Amino acid sequence: MKKLFIVSIWVLLLAGSAQKANAQYYFYNSNYYDNPITYEVGGSIGLMNCLTDLGGHKGIGKKFIKDLNMGNTQFAGSIFVSALYQDKVGLRLEATFGKVSADDKDLQSVKTTTYGRYERNLSFRSNISEFSAIAEFHPLYIFGNFDDDQNNTKTPPLFSPYLLAGVGFFHFNPQAKLGSTWVDLQPLSTEGEGFAEYPNSKPYKLDQINIPLGVGVKYDLNSNLNVRAEFVYRKLNTDYLDDVSTTYVDPADYQYHFTGAKYNNALALNARQKDLDPGYIVNKGDQRGNPSNKDAYFSFNIKLSLALGRERIKGR
């Protein structure tokens, strides 16, 4: 991932060094024109949510927005720098920070329809730190023609919808609340990850790759500033964003791996049905999550950025 960012930065630097060698691309208005390559520096504020095994709505858990709980939406923000070639395609480097969470208690009002998901009684939260390299595609510029034959110039539209796709590197750390304390879940092997008794359950990494996909619209406020509205969905290669994926382990197995507070936390957070039903018995191999559906998280942001590379026409 470090190599990816180094290459991306070199692309931006080389683009900047080459832009002066090119003729102007179009007149932004009667006072400014754009170079072939322009830069943007900015930030965003927005909202972040996730789709995992926890929470949801009535019935059996399904993929995508059927089980989206809007009440778990958290704040997010980002900073970024980008380079756009002729406003057609761009490369953006962005750092995004937010939080995601989910809770089976959200199913309480429909618990009789959820086939034990409410009674599972699991929950999580996790901070998200993401660093991504994203390509933008602006179809109005790619397929449009803004030529003015008389003045040999091009005048752009103020609005520009766009598509985006890229690759990201993100850090997460699922936690659950035990009493008044938030406890890290990954070290507890809640599904036997790394235990010899469960050879098919492998430890998951807290630093992983994702694939950002999204849409947005950009609007020029003036020659220096623009604002964007953007939705980005992150496709993940893990089902452990919420620390829930497969089946329950035998609680007795923890005595062979953990001691002290770690042992007590693993027993308490591996299965939490007893918080609702003290007589509940956990059986090894019972379904805990659905490994066929990978987790995901997404954000909606409002971005404000400063345009660089736009030059004033002499004498105006």
Determine the pLDDT at residue 256. 96
Residue 31 in tokens: 């006072």
Determine the pLDDT at residue 163. 98
Does any domain span residue 291? no
Determine the pLDDT at residue 20. 44
Determine the pLDDT at residue 45. 98
Does any domain span residue 12? yes
State how many domains the chain has.
1
Determine the pLDDT at residue 225. 93
Domain that holds residue 44: 2-189+203-245+296-312
Does any domain span residue 31? yes
CATH of the domain at 231: 2.40.160.20
Does any domain span residue 88? yes
Does any domain span residue 285? no
Determine the pLDDT at residue 282. 86
Does any domain span residue 272? no
pTM of the model: 0.87
Return the number of other C-beta atoms located less than 10 Å from residue 278's C-beta: 7
Determine the pLDDT at residue 5. 46
Strand 175-178 and strand 181-184: pairing? antiparallel
Determine the pLDDT at residue 27. 57
Does any domain span residue 270? no
**159-198 pLDDT per residue, tens:** 899 999 999 999 999 999 999 999 999 999 999 999 999 9
Buried b (16+ CB within 10 A) or exposed e, 5-18: eeebeeebeebbee
Please, what is the Cα angle at 75 between 302 and 91, to 5 degrees? 45
Q: Which parts of the chain sit beneath pLDDT 70?
A: 1-33, 145-156, 314-316
Determine the pLDDT at residue 13. 44
Does any domain span residue 117? yes
Percent of the chain with pLDDT over 70: 85
- Of 251, 263, 249, nearest in space to 200 by CA: 249
